[in-house]
């Protein structure tokens, strides 16, 4: 099985998690291969960053480790990212953070997002661009109150994800982008509906993934005693949305499971800066072997969600 979305940390954040330890967890959970995300410290943006990152991978797991290079609106940086994709088998794609939560990697303005697609199209890039979708104009950060963690789900409503997905689909059309658009960790049924419409209409090559936590839990988890531990972006949704996501998963409208494994120190979550993220790789084994069958997902579907569909998209890269 493959987890195509993990945050291995390392670097200045090695106290939170490391590549070597992620592989230990993955082995316990039945996962063989992982795709690492670029919002590390320092971020993965250039060939030098890729080279330094690969040095951290245990030698015996080099064949199981893949990583994304981050996207900025800088043309030279994007040219380098495409060169890395072409040069390194381990570089699985390019990651765009269309949200306000990733510092230098945040590309919030629609014009900058458009520029990225235009540049990638002009460069002939046909790989995956994985996008974190939360549109700034629809965020309501003033509602966030750490003394009432459930307010996090109100501050980052479903509309923010839906409108950002709508933007990405429109930009792919507008710029004639020939690569694969992947929407990471969908949490809104409305977003899945947009993706499915674009996919079934054969307008473009588009996929989406869902996390265990967005299928398992609704936002009432944020109302509990340890609610701050369940703060992540995008946030947990209302029960009716979770039920719809499960339905769409059964119907094959979601392409794969991705954990978005994002560990932080406990103090960083329970106290300022109240960091978002959940270490969902620890849930993977039980989720795949018990939860998915329990909600009516067949063995054949599980194989597609954890392996086959991922190989279909990334097969030219995965060893």
Cβ–Cβ under 8 Å, residues 255 and 309: yes
Per-residue pLDDT tens over the stretch 22-74: 999 999 999 999 999 999 999 999 999 999 999 999 999 999 999 999 999 99
122 by DSSP, 3-state: which? helix
Structure-token pair, residue 214: 């967005």
Question: Taking the CA of residue 304 as centre, how many other CA atoms within 13 Å lie in the half-sphere pointing to its CB?
Answer: 12
**Cα torsion angle, 110, 111, 114, 115, sign:** negative
Q: What are phi and psi of 93, to 5 degrees?
A: 170, -170
Q: How far apart are CA 229 and CA 132, in angstroms?
A: 21
Give the number of residues written for the chain. Answer: 319
Domains of the chain: 2-314 (3.20.20.140)
pLDDT single digits (tens) 226-272: 999 999 999 999 999 999 999 999 999 999 999 999 999 999 999 99
Q: Whole-angstrom Cα distance, residue 23 to residue 319?
A: 17
Contact 144, 155 (CB under 8 A): yes
Instruction: Say if pTM beats, i.e. exceeds, 0.85.
Output: yes
Radius of gyration of the CA atoms of the chain, in A? 18
The H-or-E segment that residue 256 falls in is: strand 256-257
- The answer to whether residue 130 scores a pLDDT higher than 70 is yes
Smallest CA-to-CA distance from 97 within 109, 79, 83 is with 109
pLDDT bin (cut points 50, 70, 90) of residue 104 is confident
Quote the pLDDT of residue 175: 97
| pLDDT at residue number 100 | 79
């Amino acid at each position: 099985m493959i987890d195509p979305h993990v945050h291995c940390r390392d670097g200045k954040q090695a106290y939170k998690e490391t590549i070597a330890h992620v592989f230990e967890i993955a082995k316990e959970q039945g996962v063989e291969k992982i795709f690492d995300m670029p919002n590390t410290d320092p971020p993965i943006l250039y060939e030098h960053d890729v080279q330094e990152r690969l040095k951290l991978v245990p030698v015996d797991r080099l064949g199981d480790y893949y990583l994304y290079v981050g996207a900025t609106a800088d043309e030279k940086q994007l040219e380098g990212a495409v060169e890395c994709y072409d040069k390194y088998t381990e570089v699985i794609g390019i990651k765009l953070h269309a949200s306000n939560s990733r510092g230098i990697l945040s590309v919030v303005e629609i014009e900058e997002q458009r520029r990225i697609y235009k540049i990638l199209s002009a460069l002939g890039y046909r790989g995956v661009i994985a996008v974190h979708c939360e549109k700034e104009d629809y965020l309501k950060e003033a509602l966030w109150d750490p003394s009432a963690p459930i307010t996090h789900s109100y501050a980052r409503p479903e509309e923010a994800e839906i409108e950002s997905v709508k933007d990405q689909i429109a930009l792919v059309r507008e710029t004639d982008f020939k690569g694969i658009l992947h929407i990471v960790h969908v949490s809104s049924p409305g977003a899945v509906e947009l993706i499915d419409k674009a996919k079934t209409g054969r307008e473009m090559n588009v996929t989406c993934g869902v996390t265990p936590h967005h299928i398992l839990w609704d936002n009432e988890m944020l109302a509990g005693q340890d609610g701050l531990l369940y703060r992540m972006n995008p946030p947990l949704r209302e029960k009716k949305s979770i039920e719809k996501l499960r339905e769409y998963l059964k119907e094959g409208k979601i392409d794969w499971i991705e954990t978005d494994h994002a560990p932080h120190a406990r103090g960083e979550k329970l106290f300022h800066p109240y960091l978002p993220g959940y270490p969902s790789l620890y849930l993977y084994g039980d989720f795949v072997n018990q939860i998915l069958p329990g909600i009516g997902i067949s063995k054949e579907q599980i194989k597609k969600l954890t392996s086959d569909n991922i190989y279909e998209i990334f097969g030219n890269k995965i060893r």
